[in-house]
């Protein structure tokens, strides 16, 4: 079977959306981290923009391995985006113009210095920014140590961005815009501070220039993107009649929220991105509504014998409980967000959860609960309690986590969590109510200020016992 390439675009089935008639495009964006999420999310937005404005082709840079960029290069940068939903669809993306690996330093350096490069985007995961636990640049990180000693051949994305800014400043040019696209809270401010701190150690004058000129908008991105697998490759080959080893898949829903810092180059708003002065409001809504509901489905769903999110959503009692928790316990605690209707957003979240084409395992979502729950559910709990209200749905959701820990300990099943040993020790000889008391007292998974809230601790103990016993979920108020 032939491989997807520009030579075969004309022979693809007419029903497949593909850039058949598109003229030449130029490189205006350099992207670090050619991940599946980047190709399924940001590159999809850019690809649609290229039909109107051909200046924003993407140079994909991989700092660690060549696998993905080589697969893209072998297909002239083309790959298929499969939308997995009740109504599936396929679309061939052609947004990438260059494909650079760890051994292409000279070409990467030239691109970063080129005046035509206006925007640098990144999906390198939270670890890729070499930050310490407090969100500042970790000067003890091996890559940062290397880059300060050898700034001409960086290992980190922070080092590469600094190298590009150095070249532009020395040439008397203007800085590019840097836009991180990893789900790191306040990512713009943190990445900007990391770049400036690195530059301060490297060359104080560069740091002053960065302080005066560099723009790093915060972003929030969202779309469930399962890993590519043989089933995907088979589906794509069957539909296109050619092989595509770079295909990616995601749900239909996609969200890209960008802080309004002025002109960043490409006009992403015209292809569906949200440009706003309140990225934090969108982040807060996602964390409490989407992530809070996700964790609730995970722990309550596993206790009820479910294995995936879609399966849990087919449990009418559980789905109704999660809906009520969002409407009654969570949304009333959220301040208004310009341009975002919270109830409509909740509708979208629940519809996404019910998508049968996305297999999202509950045991994966249940990992690292001690780290996630204080933000996903704990913040909602705090706001309610400060207002003198007991959020019964959130309490039962937290109780489901406590019951989950007890059940795993009794079944001798390891919990995937950075505090797994501590959690096992706390749960090993405890009934749910006792474990709830211990967790609240230690501040593990439960906000510390709740430790002295006796009414809450009693309610959590009761909810934990009910969850382990399989008692009915709280009735949904009409």
Are 102 and 63 in contact by the 8 Å Cβ rule? The answer is yes
Q: Encode pLDDT of 404-463 as tens digits.
A: 999 999 999 999 999 999 999 999 988 999 999 999 999 999 999 999 999 999 999 999
> Which of the two residues, 1 and 379, has the higher pLDDT score?
379
**Count of domains observed in the chain:** 2
Q: Quick one: 272 and 286 in the same domain?
A: no
Do 269 and 343 belong to one domain? no
Judgement on whether residues 328 and 463 belong to the same structural domain of the protein? yes
Q: Which residues, 6 or more positions from 67, have their beta carbon under 8 angstroms from its beta carbon?
A: none
Q: What is the pLDDT of residue 475?
A: 72
Residues 329 and 198 occupy one common structural domain: no
Tokens matching residue 302: 């596993």
**DSSP letter assigned to residue 333:** G
pTM for this prediction: 0.93
Same domain for 225 and 261, yes or no, is yes
Nearest to 434 by CA among 409, 397, 470: 409
Confidence band of 248 (pLDDT split at 50, 70, 90): very high
pLDDT at 110: 97
Note whether 359 and 226 are within 8 A (CB): yes
User: Where is the domain boundary, 233, 254, 277?
Assistant: 277
Residue 253 lies in a domain: yes
Report the share of the chain in percent with pLDDT over 70.
99
Q: What is the pLDDT of residues 195-230, one digit of tens each?
A: 999 999 999 999 999 999 999 999 999 999 999 999
Q: Is residue 399 part of a domain?
A: yes
Task: Identify whether 52 is part of a domain.
Answer: yes
- At residue 477 the predicted structure's pLDDT band, cuts being 50, 70 and 90, is low
Q: Does residue 476 lie within any of the structural domains?
A: no
In 3D, which of 309, 333, 305, 335 has the Cα closest to residue 322?
309
Give the three-class secondary structure for 79.
strand
The residue range of the domain holding 122 is 6-277
79 and 19 assigned to the same domain: yes
Dihedral of alpha carbons 27, 29, 33, 35, sign: negative
Using one digit for the tens of pLDDT, what is the confidence trace for 185-195?
Answer: 999 999 999 99
Assign 159 to helix, strand or coil.
helix
- Decide if 297 contacts 400 (C-beta within 8 A): no
CATH code for the domain in which residue 388 is found: 1.10.1040.10
Does some domain include residue 1?
A: no
Maximal CA-CA distance, the chain: 70
């Amino acid at each position: 079977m032939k491989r997807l390439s520009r030579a075969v675009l004309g022979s693809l089935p007419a029903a497949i959306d593909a850039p058949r008639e598109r003229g030449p495009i130029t490189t205006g964006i350099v992207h670090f981290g050619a991940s599946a999420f980047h190709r399924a999310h940001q590159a999809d937005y850019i690809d649609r923009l290229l039909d109107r404005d051909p200046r924003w082709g993407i140079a994909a840079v991989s700092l660690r391995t060549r696998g993905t960029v080589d697969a893209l290069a072998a297909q002239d940068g083309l790959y298929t985006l499969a939308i997995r939903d009740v109504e599936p669809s396929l679309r061939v993306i052609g947004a990438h113009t260059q494909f650079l690996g760890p051994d292409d330093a000279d070409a990467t350096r030239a691109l970063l210095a080129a005046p035509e490069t206006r925007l640098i985007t990144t999906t390198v995961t939270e670890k890729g920014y070499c930050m310490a636990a407090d969100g500042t640049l970790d000067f003890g990180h091996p890559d940062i140590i290397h880059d300060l000693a050898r700034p001409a051949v960086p290992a980190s994305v922070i080092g590469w961005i600094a190298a590009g800014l150095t070249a532009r400043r020395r040439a008397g040019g203007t800085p590019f815009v840097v836009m991180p696209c990893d789900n790191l809270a306040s990512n713009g401010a943190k990445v900007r501070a990391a770049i400036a701190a690195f530059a301060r150690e490297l060359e104080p004058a560069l740091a002053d220039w960065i302080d005066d000129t560099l723009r790093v908008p915060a972003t929030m991105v969202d779309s469930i993107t399962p890993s590519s697998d043989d089933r995907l490759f088979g589906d794509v080959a069957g539909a296109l009649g050619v092989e595509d080893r770079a295909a990616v898949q995601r749900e239909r829903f996609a969200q890209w929220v960008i802080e309004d810092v002025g002109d960043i180059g490409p006009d992403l708003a015209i292809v569906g991105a949200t440009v706003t002065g309140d990225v934090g409001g969108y982040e807060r809504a996602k964390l409490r509504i989407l992530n809070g509901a996700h964790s609730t489905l995970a722990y309550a769903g596993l206790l009820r014998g479910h294995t995936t999110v879609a399966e849990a959503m087919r449990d009418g009692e559980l789905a109704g409980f999660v809906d009520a928790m969002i409407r009654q316990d969570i949304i009333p605690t959220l301040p208004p967000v310009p341009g975002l209707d919270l109830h409509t957003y909740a509708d979208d979240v629940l519809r996404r959860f019910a998508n049968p084409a996305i297999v999202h395992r509950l045991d994966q979502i249940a990992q690292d609960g001690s780290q996630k729950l204080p933000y996903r559910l704990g913040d909602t709990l705090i706001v309610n309690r400060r207002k003198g209200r007991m959020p019964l749905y959130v309490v039962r959701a937290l109780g489901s986590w406590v019951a989950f820990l007890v059940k795993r300990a009794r079944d001798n099943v390891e919990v995937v969590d950075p505090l797994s040993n501590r959690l096992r020790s706390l749960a090993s000889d405890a009934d749910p109510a006792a474990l709830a008391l211990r967790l609240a007292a230690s501040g593990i998974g439960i906000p510390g200020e709740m430790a002295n809230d006796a009414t809450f601790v009693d309610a959590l103990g009761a909810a934990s016992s009910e969850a382990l016993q399989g008692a009915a979920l709280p009735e949904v108020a009409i």
